[in-house]
Amino acid sequence: MKRNLTMLTDFYELTMANGYFMSECAEQTVYFDMFFRKVPDNGGFAIFAGLEQMIEYIKLLKFYDEDIEYLRQKNIFDERFLSYLKDFKFECDVYAVPEGTPVFPNEPLITVKGPALQAQFIETMILLTVNHQSLIATKANRIVRAAQGRPVMEFGSRRAQGYDGAVYGARAAFIGGCSGTACTIADKMFGVPATGTMAHSWVQMFDSELEAFRKYAEVYPDSCTFLVDTYNVLKSGVPNAITVFKELRQKGYEPCGIRIDSGDIAYLSKEARKMLDDAGFDNCKIVASNSLDEYIIRDLIIQEAKIDSFGVGERLVTSKSEPVFGGVYKLCAVENNGEIIPRIKLSENISKITTPSYKEVWRLFSNKTGKALADVVTVAGEEIDSSIPYMIFHPDYTYKKKLLSDFTAVKLQVPIFLKGECVYDSPSAKQIRNYCEEQISYLWDEIKRFENPQEYYVDLSEKLWKVKNDYLSRYFL
């Protein structure tokens, strides 16, 4: 069966679309925001990812005859609506922050402006693509930062949540800072460097571990990393690796490394390092794997484990510690005769109250240090004058008041689609990765802590706060 991702949508997007069409408000201009409410793992920031796949989805929006027939058989959709879908054409404006940008809760990452039926319909796939890749990129960056400059390779394909979870998880992990992946197709599709040597089964295939290493070295004499924990790391694995390394050196090749995939990695790596150094192979690298995450890696480094790089699988590609990125897509305004009318969602749960109005988000950078000082969400069209001091505040929390001066204000969102036409050239995964690394360097170290990170300022402009407060007063007072 041909897979048309247009049909990868919550069914209520279609029932609402039919309802909009029958209510004659399908073409009314509306505004939606995509944002998230909480950083995974209680971290200080998240990494925005998945934009390229969202763009590809929107470009390919189309209902085929078999899709129309499927909907017809549900016996709930009007024939005029089905005829509309047959000639469906996306005509919205879409704005988004660039992939790889460090982002914070409750600020618009994507804004969609356009006909109600269209802007509503793309909700599911926007959330699916951005939530997944932002989750993995964020987790990957935590792990990479824990490694303190040592390369981290993504090894999670076999434990990922399905085919696409493996492929796009590898892409997101690379954006988050991983040096490569075990997922071959991610290299082919996105240029994420694929890497890998042998599994335990290779060692088991031969009559002895030494023979297994020799056979591998015959095929890959200048790039062999031996897996040394199939039987016993220190009694056979490392000694057999050293034997083959000596044979390679006599032939003019230098050894690449060993990998430890089980046991007390801190202890084993230290002992293996001594053995390798004593044998004259101080340039041989030690790779560690086996259910690692940022906390285990941090502890290994504290324990002075002799590890040069890490392979991280299931706990990265599934973000096992917190496997959900809570991005949401909410209506924030409607347009009536050219007037933009804010819309708000209220809730007994305060965290679910939305900020109304068509908005823009700005990042304020210190001219003195280059560091990011705060993000400010404004009503669209507002300007932040960098030539005068700016008060960052939230009226409900007076202790957060802070006067900023000598800063540069940068608007974060850029146009992606205008009137349905893509106006954005997606960078390569490597370019996004480099951009991400650069942008994270602008954050204070206190925001990067794994536990109890310093809260980053994300505030509303005074004008936007008054809009929100007016709606809160109207409904609650």
Q: Are 36 and 95 in contact (CB under 8 A)?
A: no
Longest dimension (CA), the chain: 85
**For 415-426, what is each residue's pLDDT tens digit?**
999 999 999 999
Cβ burial of 419 (10 Å; 0-12, 13-18, 19+) is exposed
Do 251 and 340 share a domain, yes or no? no
The CATH number that applies at residue 41 is 3.20.140.10
SS3 354: coil
Helix H or strand E segment including 59: helix 51-59
Structural domains in the chain (count): 2
Domain boundary among 278, 301, 317: 317
- Tell me the sheet residues that pair with 204: none
In a shared domain, residues 295 and 175: yes
Reported as type and span, the H/E element at residue 378 is: strand 372-379
Report the relative pairing of strands 372-379 and 458-460 from DSSP bridges.
Answer: parallel
Q: CA–CA separation, 83 vs 275, rounded Å?
A: 73
Residue range(s) defining the domain that contains residue 303: 144-317
Chain CA centroid to CA 445, Å: 20
8-state DSSP, 315: H
- 34 DSSP assignment: E
Find where tokens 């809009």 sit.
467
User: Three-class SS of residue 163?
Assistant: helix
Q: Is the C-alpha dihedral spanning 360, 331, 7, 115 positive or negative?
A: negative
- 162 with 303, same domain: the answer is yes
Residues 6+ away with beta carbon under 8 Å from 252: none
Rounded Cα distance, 347 and 330, in Å: 13
Q: Is the dihedral of CA 259, 262, 263, 265 positive or negative?
A: positive
Is 344 found in the same domain as 305?
no
pLDDT in single tens digits along all 477 residues of the chain? 578 999 999 999 999 999 999 999 999 999 999 999 999 999 999 999 999 999 999 999 999 999 999 999 999 999 999 999 999 999 999 999 999 999 999 999 999 999 999 999 999 999 999 999 999 999 999 999 999 999 999 999 999 999 999 999 999 999 999 999 999 999 999 999 999 999 999 999 999 999 999 999 999 999 999 999 999 999 999 999 999 999 999 999 998 899 999 999 999 999 999 999 999 999 999 999 999 999 999 999 999 999 999 999 999 999 999 999 999 999 999 999 999 999 999 988 888 999 999 999 999 999 999 999 999 999 999 999 999 999 887 555 555 678 899 999 999 999 999 999 999 999 999 999 999 999 999 999 999 999 999 999 999 999 999 999 999 988 776
Look up residue 343 and give its two tokens: 């819309």
Based on the domain organization, do 148 and 280 belong to the same domain? yes
Short-list 128, 62, 42, CA closest to 451 = 42
From 269, 297, 317, the end of a domain falls on 317
Domain boundary residue among 317, 338, 353?
A: 317
Kindly state whether residues 439 and 354 are assigned to the same domain: yes
The secondary element (H helix, E strand) that includes residue 340 is: strand 339-342
User: Does residue 383 sit in the same domain as residue 452?
Assistant: yes
Q: How far apart are CA 441 and CA 436, in angstroms?
A: 9
Same domain, 62 and 165: no
Assign residue 243 the CATH number of its domain.
3.20.20.70
pLDDT tens digit sequence for 251-307: 999 988 999 999 999 999 999 999 999 999 999 999 999 999 999 999 999 999 999
Same domain, yes or no, for 257 and 383? no
Give the separation between CA 191 and CA 180, rounded to whole angstroms: 9
Is the pTM for the entire model greater than 0.85? Answer: yes
Complete DSSP assignment for 218-264: HH-TTS-EEE--SS-IIIIIHHHHHHHHHHHHHTT----EEEE-SS-
Are 149 and 291 in the same domain? yes
- Using the structure block, give the residue that is written with the tokens 């001091």: 389
